[in-house]
Amino acid sequence: MRPSLQSRLLASLLLVSAAAWLLVLGLTWYETDHELNELLDAHLAQTASFLVVQSGDGHENDRDFTTSPTLHKYQPRVAYQVWHEGQLVARSEKAPTAPFRQAGESGLIDRKVDGEVWRIFSTQGQEKDVWIHVAELGKYRQDILYAGLESAIVPLLLVFPLMALFIWWSIRVSLGPLRHLGQEISLRKASSLQALEEKKAVKEVQPLVQALNQLFKRVEVQMANERQFTSDAAHELRTPVAAIRMQAQVAMGATEADAQKQALQALMDGCDRATRLISQLLELSRLDAAERYEDSLSLQAVDAIALTRQQLAESGHAWIAKHQSLNFEAPDKLLLNVKPEWLSIVVRNLVDNASRYSPEGAQLQVTWQDGPEPMLTVEDSGPGMSASDRVRLGDRFFRVLGTEATGSGLGWSIVRRIAQLNRIKVQLGTSPNFGGLQVVMVWPKDCKVVS
């Protein structure tokens, strides 16, 4: 199970805060150590310069020296030695009797003397045979540094849990709108598609609320379409099923062979109409699924001319049976980046409708035009269609009143849906050559494959 957004934000902020504090602590350690050494080294140098001045008063009693008294509790941390002609003539109370350094060595150095590490500053006195060493125990410097850092670290350690609690509280409050939104949606009924209130949502959550409202709207429209589609399909299927039943009854009751044959032929025609209707319903269902889930056939480079010739050959029996003539004009080859099954459906439905709704002996024309935007034109010499009917062409189960041709009114719905999914422009009008209906389908520029 993946961690929640709240826990990830809390862990990230605490890790960043801890890392920043550690970085600041490291830099503080470095800077404090550097500045402390500079300050204490300056004190050593200042003490040495003072002893240089004092050492110029003479050394008559070099062998009868005494150590200086301790006047402060921290004084033993600092020690000094005064050497004259290789003899120790003066030293502090805690200074060792062994020389801190050899004569002739000046400046600062860290050195171990009598088992302890000292920070030593050496300089020559006013006389060349006088050497002064001022030293400080190294561990005392570390004690000062640790004490200073401890005074800074302890408050931070005390504040860190409070800061973590405050960060947790802030994140929880900030994510409250998301929790409330989730609770509101979880408490809804499955059939509730009412839009969420955008004004009550905080600015950062409003895009999510808007996306959910758009989703609810699309689902509502889709459910309404499916209910309408189911109702219309049931109504349309009732007619061919009733006709099949009636013809079956006629066939059962017929006593003469000719009457029975006619009834059986009508029964077969009714089955064909029902089969065509069911096939078109399935095609529409697949197109709806492709639009909702984008689970469609892959695009392919297809020769539209060869595919159109194949569809015309397969559907030739329909217009040949009505003694109709069909003329096909097209370039030798035209490659389109399309779904071949959908292009076949478009060509088949357009030619089938042109033949079905045109009288016997009518003329049909199918034309492909190559160009930046390839065009497919299908026209006929049939009765045509009024402007008001052309507006409704594509509505499911819509058929022009008064026509004697059989059909379900789904063919154009299928064509319209494929055009919508492939960004194809559909233009309807009157054929200037034959006077019937003219259909022009214009493919987008990026659909053409440049060979």
- Taking the domains of the chain in order of start, what are their residue ranges? 5-163, 206-291, 297-447
Q: One-letter amino acid identity for 397?
A: F
DSSP 299: P
For 253-314, list the strands marked E by DSSP: 300-303
- Residue 362's nearest CA partner among 393, 319, 332 is 319
Q: Report the CATH fold assignment for 297-447.
A: Heat Shock Protein 90 (3.30.565)
Question: Beta strand pairing status for 363-369 and 325-329?
Answer: parallel
Question: Beta strand pairing status for 107-113 and 87-91?
Answer: unpaired
- Residue 406's nearest CA partner among 314, 288, 275 is 275
Q: Are the C-beta atoms of 244 and 270 separated by less than 8 Å?
A: yes
pTM: 0.47
How far apart, in whole angstroms, are the C-alpha atoms of residue 336 and residue 42? 87
How far apart, in whole angstroms, are the C-alpha atoms of residue 109 and residue 33? 16
Q: What is the CA radius of gyration of the chain?
A: 50
Torsion angle defined by CA atoms of residues 25, 26, 28 and 31, in that order, rounded to the nearest 10 degrees: 180
DSSP 203: T
Question: 243: which 2 tokens?
Answer: 């006709």
Q: For each successive 10 residues of the chain (451 residues), what is the average pLDDT?
A: 78 87 84 77 74 60 48 62 82 78 81 82 82 82 79 82 88 83 80 78 81 84 72 62 74 76 77 71 66 58 91 83 90 89 86 87 92 91 80 64 57 80 87 90 86 63
How far apart, in whole angstroms, are the C-alpha atoms of residue 297 and residue 299? 7
**Top-level CATH class of 206-291?**
mainly alpha
Question: What pLDDT sits at residue 298?
Answer: 66
